[in-house]
């Protein structure tokens, strides 16, 4: 068996990024009197969302920024949520707005995301920001998880041009923007999805495999070309004999021996999502994006 792949430490990377963001946020406040402010909106009581929202609020405050939190009941109507977003859009002290996903079934997610001012859309989900990224312009906001994946990839592969990347999953939050970013970095990109006949045949040809399928342990050891870099975006709750655990979309123990480098779950991409959210919030407060 080959040596285990190098572990890509998302916790350490995110810690460093957050400390740099804190310095810039303090500078913005001291020099320009601007206190970067993130509004976090959650609807309902999904337990995982509650944890992520709490972590985002804590990380925002630790980065020397302000957070304002709005927790609405699960029965909130779309109109009520749109009213809140209109208020936050008009509030000049709020620089970034985030609506935690998923939303309850009675609310149209796209209508809500497109109601956020693109200049405050620190999740990068607004159709304008998605469109800017799609045409190769990085002057909009880039979604946090793909941005974090790119940073981790660059930490082990400084030059991506010419490599073959396979993205497993094509959600608007991760797979699609990830494919755009990889292509714009010079990769040849294949995106696989539910209708792909043989996903393993695609990943076996890849130098880079990014998995965001929401399917625990989907990617097996023999799906990976020796020396490939593997980025696991999956966050799945699994019951094991040792109790409940968070596991990724990659069967880590099987894949790590084949990979040149691999992100663990937890401790890989997840912490980068929150660090990149802080980066986008800082950019929004600076009047910048991208």
Ligand X SMILES: Nc1nc2c(c(=O)[nH]1)N[C@@H](CN(C=O)c1ccc(C(=O)N[C@@H](CCC(=O)O)C(=O)O)cc1)CN2
Which residues are catalytic, by number?
A: 56, 100, 123
- Look up tokens 């990014």; give the residue: 210
How many residues form the binding site for ligand X (CB under 6 A)? 18
Tell whether residue 104 is a contact of ligand X (CB under 6 A): no
Tell me which stretch binds ligand X (CB under 6 A): 17-25, 86-94, 221-229, 269-277.
269-277
Tell whether residue 67 is a contact of ligand X (CB under 6 A): no
Q: Which is nearer to ligand X, 177 or 207 (CB)?
A: 177
Query: Are 31 and 175 a contacting pair, CB within 8 Å?
Result: no
The closest alpha carbon to 125, from 98, 89, 149, 86, belongs to 98
User: Least separation, in Å, of the C-beta of 142 and ligand X?
Assistant: 11
Tokens matching residue 62: 């630790």
Query: Are 64 and 22 a contacting pair, CB within 8 Å?
Result: yes
Tell me which stretch binds ligand X (CB under 6 A): 74-82, 93-101, 103-111, 253-261.
93-101
User: Least separation, in Å, of the C-beta of 53 and ligand X?
Assistant: 8
Binding mask 134-173 for ligand X (x = CB under 6 A): ----------xx----------------------------
Tell whether residue 100 is a contact of ligand X (CB under 6 A): yes
Tell me which stretch binds ligand X (CB under 6 A): 65-73, 154-162, 214-222, 259-267.
259-267
C-alpha to C-alpha distance for 105 and 74, rounded to whole angstroms: 10
Tell whether residue 60 is a contact of ligand X (CB under 6 A): no
C-alpha to C-alpha distance for 232 and 219, rounded to whole angstroms: 9
Tell whether residue 96 is a contact of ligand X (CB under 6 A): no
Tell whether residue 273 is a contact of ligand X (CB under 6 A): yes
Tokens matching residue 12: 């350490």
Query: Are 231 and 149 a contacting pair, CB within 8 Å?
Result: yes
Query: Are 226 and 205 a contacting pair, CB within 8 Å?
Result: no
Q: Which residues carry a binding-site annotation for NADP(+)?
A: 169-171, 235
Q: Which is nearer to ligand X, 144 or 250 (CB)?
A: 144
The number of C-alpha atoms within 13 Å of 60 and in the hemisphere containing its C-beta is 27
Q: How many residues does the chain have?
A: 290
To which H or E segment does residue 86 belong? Answer: helix 78-90
Q: Which is nearer to ligand X, 38 or 144 (CB)?
A: 144
Tell me which stretch binds ligand X (CB under 6 A): 94-102, 134-142, 150-158, 205-213.
94-102
The number of C-alpha atoms within 13 Å of 169 and in the hemisphere containing its C-beta is 24
Tell whether residue 52 is a contact of ligand X (CB under 6 A): yes
- Look up tokens 């979604």; give the residue: 143
Residues that bind ligand X (CB under 6 A): 51-52, 98-101, 123, 144-145, 235, 246, 265-267, 270-271, 273-274
């Amino acid at each position: 068996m080959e040596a285990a792949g190098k572990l890509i430490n998302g916790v350490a990377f995110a810690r460093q990024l957050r400390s740099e963001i804190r310095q810039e946020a303090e500078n913005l406040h001291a020099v320009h009197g601007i206190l970067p402010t993130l509004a976090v909106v959650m609807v309902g009581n999904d337990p995982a969302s509650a944890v992520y929202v709490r972590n985002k609020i804590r990380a925002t405050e630790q980065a020397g920024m302000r957070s304002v939190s709005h927790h609405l009941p699960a029965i909130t109507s779309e109109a009520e949520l749109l009213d809140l977003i209109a208020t936050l859009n008009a509030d000049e002290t709020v620089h970034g707005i985030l609506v935690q996903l998923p939303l309850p079934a009675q609310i149209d997610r796209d209508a809500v995301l497109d109601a956020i001012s693109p200049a405050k859309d620190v999740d990068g989900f607004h159709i304008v920001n998605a469109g800017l990224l799609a045409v190769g312009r990085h002057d909009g906001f880039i979604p946090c998880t793909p941005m974090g994946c790119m940073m981790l990839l660059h930490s082990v592969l400084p030059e991506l041009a010419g490599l073959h990347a396979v993205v497993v999953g094509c959600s608007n939050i991760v797979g699609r923007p990830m494919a755009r970013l990889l292509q714009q970095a010079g990769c040849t990109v294949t995106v696989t999805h539910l209708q792909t006949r043989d996903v393993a045949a695609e990943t076996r040809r890849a130098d880079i495999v990014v998995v965001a399928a929401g399917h625990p342990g989907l990617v097996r050891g023999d799906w990976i070309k020796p020396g490939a870099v593997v980025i696991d975006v999956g966050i799945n709750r699994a019951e094991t004999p040792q109790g409940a655990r968070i596991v990724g979309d990659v069967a880590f123990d099987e894949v790590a021996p084949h990979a040149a480098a691999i992100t663990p779950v937890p401790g890989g991409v997840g912490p980068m999502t929150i660090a990149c959210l802080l980066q986008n919030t800082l950019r929004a407060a600076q009047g910048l994006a991208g």
